[in-house]
Structure 1
């Protein structure tokens, strides 16, 4: 098996990839960096290549970016039993992938918009801007809450972890931990989902291996 290397920036979505690697039972090397002044160190970004974004995964001669893309690659390459992602042509595959892509393109996108307003808006009323942006986040979290309530198990699509959970978990944690537009809503089913994800042996191993902490 070719060596796998994960470039891991602290307090980031990189935990998604580490969790998936552990869930797949794959050996990998971690190249870890803390943040400096809240951002990735320039030298670490240069070492990872590309846009200098994280996670970055190298598997032999293949170097990949974007957590959803990495997740799909790892499942297609190493999940021969299709335990985490159904095979091509199976309608259930696209139900899973819908959550994989929505984790970043919808949930994280809407949350990060609010975070960037807090960090970067120079003029105007930050509170009013955040109020307007919060509508998207509330819609997202309400959908996640209702989907989990309807699930036949403790995870998104039943009682077993799929790649959908490894992606959506961080987005939910990120929004709730940073209080990004949720206006104090409780989301008990989402919180239970987070607890159940973090109680899996594979997630605990990923945290131990990488030193992940959202801070």
Structure 2
């Protein structure tokens, strides 16, 4: 059996990996930390996770230590997804899953995080930049809504959870929770998709086990 440990920080991308581990049916040790009042990870997390950056999540599998949720996702699927359920064999579906895995950070999070940082540093600047950033975030959400309309609307790729769902869901939850998109718009397809995947048994187990809250 693999010797897997997940270093989990609350209100972070860590839930992606806990959910993925539950989908894979893998046993794992779990170390969880709350954020400090500043919003940062506590020093203990940075000391024990074993990486230079000290960013969550961190996964250890035997002697291997990995950071970055996208890289961890691809590693776990390559190593343990023997049925290819989370990264399909079909070339078109596999390419689409990979696109979403990278878009979770390279589009959704990259485009919305400037608003979060600006709010912490300069509220006046954040207010000035908000309309422009909201347009970019709205464009990302429009794309996701259109992709869901192409399929069954319940999952991003195919008819069951894939790594696309486990990666992108946190990004969208974060956008909605932090009110980073236009507040006069609704994305009903995205909201229905989120409700569906959040009600999945593996996701619910991950939340219960980690105490995840955003």
C-alpha distance in 2, partners of 1:82/1:159? 14
Q: Pairwise mapping of residues 78-93 of structure 1 onto structure 2 (< 5 A)?
A: 78-87=80-89, 90-93=91-94
Question: How many Å apart are 1:184 and its aligned residue?
Answer: 3.0
C-alpha distance in 2, partners of 1:27/1:42? 27
Question: How many Å apart are 1:126 and its aligned residue?
Answer: 2.5
What TM-score do the two structures reach when normalised by structure 2?
0.94
Counterpart in the other structure of 2:55: 53
Secondary structure in 1 aligned to 2:155?
A: coil
Q: Does 1:35 align with 2:35?
A: yes
Uncovered stretches (5+) of structure 1, i.e. residues with no partner = none
Question: How many Å apart are 1:153 and its aligned residue?
Answer: 4.5
Question: How many Å apart are 1:172 and its aligned residue?
Answer: 0.7
| RMSD of Structure 2 on Structure 1 (CA) | 1.4
What TM-score do the two structures reach when normalised by structure 1?
0.94
Q: Pairwise mapping of residues 14-33 of structure 1 onto structure 2 (< 5 A)?
A: 14-33=14-33
Residue by residue over 1:75-99, the C-alpha shift from the partner in whole angstroms, topping out at 9 and shown as x without a partner, is 0000011111024x83432211000
Counterpart in the other structure of 1:173: 173
Aligned length: 212
* Compared CA separation, residues 86 and 35, structure 1 to 2 (3 A): same
C-alpha distance in 1, partners of 2:66/2:76? 10
Counterpart in the other structure of 2:116: 115
Uncovered stretches (5+) of structure 2, i.e. residues with no partner = none
Question: How many Å apart are 1:113 and its aligned residue?
Answer: 1.2
Deviates more, 1:198-207 or 1:132-141: 132-141
